[in-house]
Structure 1
Amino acid sequence: MYQEVSMQWSNRIRRLAVTLVASAAIGTQGASAGSSNNIVLVPPAGLPELARKAGEAMFLREAHDGRTVLYIEQDQGTALAILDVTDPRHVKSDGSVRLDVPGVFDFISDLGSRAALIRFRQGQGSAVLDFHNDKRPSLKIIQGIPVQGSLVRLGNDGFTVTSPAEATPALSDSFVDTSVIDIANLPDRVRVFDVKRVREEITNEETGTTFLLADDGLYLVRRPSVERDKESRELAARDAG
């Protein structure tokens, strides 16, 4: 009787030991899978040489051919490193370009699919980076853009920047100054229009028209490309009907 009970306890202990060992093995495999498959930290040494130096700022955009490209500002703003990061497992170098700039800058906003607005630090003005050639972006410095203000994009055609108007003691109403920047003809030219003391702004998204009600009357900011698209849609709808 005693021997039978002892054997039963021995069998139970062996089964328990096997169960504990199996559980530990499963737990170890789960932890290993979680640490190796869920998060992967790639150091600079695992990336192209262009990524192994300090940078000032970055800008991520989709290229014309569908690739995802990361631009890194380096060398105090005078160089732009270009990395193809479409596949994070295989980051590729697309070279770098030199920029003739007054100093370090920050990327402020993309301007549609072909350009980006940058602003130089220390109040040194603004510029537009032209991405018509994704691997050879060029710089167009723009004079007259407010250093501070609210930016509204106008598709690929341009953008507006609004900033508080200069206070006038005789008038208590709130006004803004609006700068309209036309970049549709990059890289050839950039045009800047200033509308002072704007009381109200309304945009018709269907035609792309922006109405600015200013001290001296009404201004229209037209976008002929959007108007043509609207006319084409209406013509196609009539033909289909």
Structure 2
Amino acid sequence: MLKIKNLRSGYNGIEVLHGVDFEIKPAEIVAIIGPNGSGKSTLLKSIFNLCEIYSGAIIFKDKDITKLPTHYLIQEGISYVPQGRQIFSNLTVKENLEMGCFIMDDHEIFKRNVSDVFSKFSVLKERQNDLALHLSGGEQQMLAIARALVQDPELLLLDEPSLGLAPKIMKEIFEKIVEINKEGVSIIIVEQNVKQAVEIAHRTYVLENGSIVLEGGKEILKDERIKNIYFGGE
């Protein structure tokens, strides 16, 4: 579905990713893990054209989308949920969802998509007329994901969806991610909660210092390098 070939990207002329190769297949969840500053978020931003691409190619459904403007990427079927949610706190839940549909001309499709996300996130339906700033942290994260889903993506990019959430709410968010994937949406998830991310992913890539150093399935948790980095060698 999406292939990245020898990608070099970064910010203000400073290279963060050094020749990254990456692939996600239809209906897969792929996790990206690694130490802070390893380039995980930059990989997602590169796909969504939110940083500088110095060389390499990003191919989506056999089409070169490298450096395409973000609104075209949304039309092509890619949606992005940034770290920190970045919802519109002074708008209602429903108005936030409407902002997610700014590229849609068909009001009926918008209504159908909103109905679909309300069926997935019943709490958002109940609170659709409340200002987003009055939602809990978990509800705000659900809203951020829902706002991406109303765009009807084939590929969803999630950057640290569990950041700052209590364990119970974090578990709920991961369950929702699995639900969304079962409906056929491919998902790339950047996540510091390594065990949870690897457990829901079909495959995992490990990034260190801007390069892929390891790739595998759930067995990756048994790798000594992963144990030493994340679990103190346990």
More contact order relative to length (CA 8 Å, sep ≥ 6):
2
Q: TM-score range by the shorter chain?
A: under 0.3
Structure that is richer in strand per residue = 1
TM-score of the pair, normalised by structure 1: 0.24
Larger Rg belongs to = 1
TM-score of the pair, normalised by structure 2: 0.24
Structure that is richer in helix per residue = 2
